Structures are given as structure tokens and as C-alpha cells.
Chains A and B, each alone.
Chain A
Amino acid sequence: MTKEDIKQTEVEETEECKFPIDIQEVHKSYGKKHVLKGLNLQVKKGEVFGFIGKNGAGKSTTIDCVVGLKRQDKGAIRICGFDTKKEPLLAKSTFGYVSSEPIAYEMMTGNEYLQFIASSYDMIQSSFDSNYEFLRKKFELSEDDMNRRIREYSHGMKQKVCLMASLIHNPEVWILDEPTVGLDIMVYEVLVKMLREYANNGRTVFVTSHNMDLVAKICDRVAIINDGVVSDLIDFTKEPLKRKYLSKIFFDTYVKEGQ
């Protein structure tokens, strides 16, 4: 299969795909500790989906399995229709990922890192150029900043470069794990706006956060994970009033469980 064929298949699959993230009966254990216990989740195209839960509930393990940092023991995960175990490369080419801790090659400059990421996704030069300028301005990074080694950046700047890297290839799905940590208020507002705009353009956003205000403000649907399964799924498009009470619903979930 040539690269063109792969891209063509990718486009076709993406067009057909109703659930860009489809998690079916996923189990994951660490030794004897059973972390994910048959997790099911379907994220619709064009929505901002929030994924919340207390520490240790399985949020990060779920995200790690989705993006390929970990392998689920049982069950299937499909991203834009591509099975992450059977077609990992195709699945990976459809999403952009931002981890909770900004991780990049620190010996590279911001520009070099973006060049590396763009090359990894086999981007077309013109598309890279336009995305690069758009994102650089959006995240308020100067040319000087981009020519500086990442190891010299502040936490917030590193996070900005990681956000840029996750979007540079224009992914179908944007996966963000605690993206707002360390961002200043200006960039925070830009990010919130971008998350919404991204979904409005028909793309999908999957975000985890401890920040209830952010989740309530931007998400269309929210899943609460508890003890390795989705214990509550709230659809704000159908029940908009619940936006105001998200924190209460969240706490009640755990009180109900006696935790």
C-alpha cells in the first residue's frame, strides 16, 4: 500500500466514521491491580467530549491506551475507524495529543521540534507553513522564542509548543490530557476558544481536566469515570442546566460510591 493509498483510505474512513473515538469493553491491569474494567465510550464527530474522574480512577490509563502509550489487555479502541492494535500507524496519524506534562525534545529549538513532528506526519510543506504561522500567532510565540532551545522555555511556553505540535498536522481528533496546567490566563482563554472552534469545524476534541469550570464551559458531553468504568454520562446539549451543577454531580458520584 503506497502512502497515497493510505491517505486515501484514511480520508474515506474518516468521512464514514461517526464515532472518531470508539472504546469497546477495554480492560487494563497493572499486575494484580485491575484499572480499567470493561470501559465503553463513544465520542461523536464534532463534539468536545470531557472525561473526568478522581485521581486513580483510570483517566490517564484510558488516554494512554487511546494514544498508544499503553496496550489494553482486552477490548478494542478505534480512532476514526482504525483499530489501535491492528492499524496503529493509521490510528496515530489521525490524532494530535497533548500530555498533562509538556513533553518535547528539549535539546531542539521550538522550530526544530515542529519540523520533526511535521515530518513524522509526512506533511505537505504549504500546509505546514500556513498552520505554523496561524498557530504561532495564536499562541503568541515570537520567532525568537521559536529559535530558542525548548529546555530554556518556561513551563507555559513548553505547553504552548506542545499544543502547537499537536495541531500542526491538522488532526481529525485532538486529545488533551490536563491541557491548561501552567498556562497563563491569556493563553488559557485562547485555548478554550480554540477547543470550541475546533469542534465547530467538524473535528473532535477529547479532553480530561480537573478544572470543572473549563469542562462545564466547553464540553458537549462529559463522562465521569469511576473504578475503571464510565459511571455517568452527561449530555449538556440535552440537559444544559447540568452545566451549572457539574461539580455537584461529580462529587455525588463518589459520595454514592462511599468514597
Chain B
Amino acid sequence: MSAVPPHAAAADTGGGAVAAAAARSAGSVPTRRPDVLVIGGGPAGLACAAELARAGAAVELADRDATLGGVPATTAHRGFGEGLRRGATGPQHAHRLVTEAERAGASLRTETSVLGWADAGDAGDAGDAGDGGDGGDGAWAERATTTVEVTGPTGRERLAPAAVVLATGCRERPRHARLIPGDRPAGVLTTNQVQQVATRHPGGAAAVGRRAVILGAEHVSFSAVHTLASLGCETAALITDLPRHQTLAPLRLATAGVRGVPVRTSTRLTGIHGHGRVEGVTVRPVGATRSEEIACDTVVVTGDWVAEHELARRGGLVLAASTGAPRVDRALRTTRPGVFAAGNVIHPAETAAVAAAGGRAAARAVAAFLTSEAREGADAAGAGLATRWRTAELPVTTAWPLQWVAPDALGLAGEVPSVVDTAVLRTAAVVEGRLVVSQDRRVLWRSRRQRLVPNRSLRVPLPDLEHLDPTGGRVEVRVSRRG
């Protein structure tokens, strides 16, 4: 069909390829070269930028939002902070982290969107790079740089830092990703949207109705009960297909408990109904054949966190299947040379304090990397690093019912120090037993017997490399129900 206009077949919405093409056609996108670019201004990114600036690095932090602080900046309830200062509200905590990073001398930029990677060749077609891009793919890795395309109200530019820290955080898994059928009325929200209405965008209040059903019964789900109440919306029920709620008893009591909101355990949300606006949902107890209706005008789909991984994926990083989180080793190195990751993008979702601690840990690894021999032979934008950047080594795996573990590789001893000695993980099912870390059949560590609950933070120590058999198999974390 030669008569058809030859539109370009771009395999990329908005990522590197089209953006780079636009930049080329315009011809004049300036490039700057800070030591480190931290992407994401939540707790992990802010703490990382503060620590790096203190260590003397020229560090720039880019956040796409107009306000720094990440999710805590929109979370009005108390309980944020580290150590003795745990009584702060989210915005107070965010403010502290911002002040710390500013005082340390980090350059903090808001409304700055990183659009994609500016690899030689076609950075935009990250999907294909990702398929074979296990970090050992020489042809791809040689092209992979740390250069990114950036936009914001002050204009387009290109940043070519020596190292990138991905601190892009996580988000709640939305309704359609959970395959919940039914109508598509207004009033189906996530917790974060409700929180933003409460703290930042009161003009969006029409989305929140008078009576909500909450899908999920983890920490954030109970937090949603509280935030909804502050907006004049009562909660009809929390729905979880798990056999129990997954939060701490005091939080449940302070939110749903005092308001008499039922938690419907072992129950599935089977449909959302309403034309124009939500009119109700259908729920069905697990194993039952009959559904029942609950009238409501709002549905809040909460938790079940997934990594905000677009940049990781466009960069061809190896990702964990269940959360989409980039694989990192004990130095918080991803599988892309020069690129580190920290915070809830690698463990969706831990508390702000854990995310910040991860950001600080990443800063130590990045600082060591900046002065290491690993940078020798690499050009200013990071190309040529690949041969010395081997993070896919010694993966850590999990076995059912464990869902994921982070870090999920140990990496090799080398120029960049190990900065993480504990891994966080999650279970998919409620189970009694011990957490066991082993290599092949050799047990390296075993926890006390405990009840493991989904959506709650679990931890295991990561084995030191000297305790491992270098020729042995992978390290596995599993649950032992015996003994």
C-alpha cells in the first residue's frame, strides 16, 4: 500500500526512542555530567542523595512530582521516622529528609521526568534488550550507558552521570491488573489517590464518595479506612482472600476496630457494578457458590505493591517476576553497569525508614564505585563498564510460599563493598515454620519458629561469601514447617 503515508513504526510510547528522535531533530539538547543522578525523591532517594553529597559527590536528584518526599509527603497520619523520632506525620518526615539532603549540598529538582535511557542504538526498545539482557549480553551491555533523557518545565536535557541510583518506589496494583471484572464506573481508586485528595488536591474530592469497600487488609488498607473517614467516607468492609488480616492489631483496632468496620477474610471481590458511578460490589467467600452484594459508591483497591519499574525495564535490567523489582546484589547494584537501586523499587513496600536506610546503604556502595577501578576503561558516560560489573552472580531464590526476596543476588566480592547484610522477603500464604537459608542442602541460617503472614515484612541475614561454596549451587530461602 504505497499510497499509505509512511508513518514511523515506533515500538515505544514515550520512552527513549521517540524522545531521542525528538531531541535529535531539535538538535540542541544540552548534556550535563554530575557524578551521580538519583532518580526519585522519596525517602530512599533523599537519604541517598544526602549521604552522597556529604561524601563529597556532585549529586543531583530528579523527582517527577512537584513536591519532594514521595508517598510519605501525601500520607497525613503519624508513625513516620527513624529511631526515636517515629511520631512524625508523613509530610513532616518528608520535610526532614528534604532539609537533610539540601543542607548536605545535593541538588534537588522537582517536576523533572526521566523519560528513558539514551543508549547508542535504540534505547527505547528496552523490551527486546530485557529479554536477553542478563547483564552478560556483551553486545547490549557495551551499548548500555548511564545517560538518560530528561524533561521538565525548564526544558529538555540529557544527563550523563557516572552512576545512577534508581529510587523510583512502588505503587499499588490497580484494579485491572488484578483482573476484577464488572463495569468501569467512576469511584474505583487506589489508596494513594485518596491520600492525595486528603493532603494535596482537595479539588479532586468528587472521586471519593460516602461509603467505600476496601479491597485488601494489609497495613495500607487500614490506613485507607482512616483517610476515607477524614474525607467523610465511611467504610462498609475490607475484603481479603487471605484467611486473616495482615496488619498489626493496634492499627486494625485504631482504624477499622473503633469504627466497627468488618474485615471479610477468605473472601474474593468478584465484580464492580454501576453506570456512571460505583453502585456496589459483589463478593464471594472462598469455596462458596453464592455471591452477595455490598452497596457502596467507592471502591479502594489497596496494597499488593508492585515496583515502579518503567525505567528499570526500559534499561533492560533483569527484574523479579512477582514484583517487577530490579535484581540487585549486596552492593545494591542492578544488572546494568553503573546503575544501582534502593528503596521500595527493590522491595515493594517497606516502611519509609527501611527505604531511607536502603538509600543510605546505596550511597556507600556508589561512593566506593566512583573511586574504584571498576570505572577504569569506561568512558565518561559509563560505556565499557560491563566486563567488571557482574551482579547476576550467586542469585538468591525463594520457594513457595515465599514470594520474593531482596536483594536477590549476592554478587561477587570486589571493588564495591557489600552494603546490605539483611534481606527482606514476603510470604504468599499464612504459615507456621522457620525461615531457612541454605546453599544446596547445607543450612546456613535458621530462624526461630514463627507465624509468617503475607504482606508483612520478614527478614533473613544474607550469608557472607566466605561461608559459601563458590562452586556450589544457588542460595535459597525457604520455610521449614518441621521442628
Do A and B interact? Answer: no
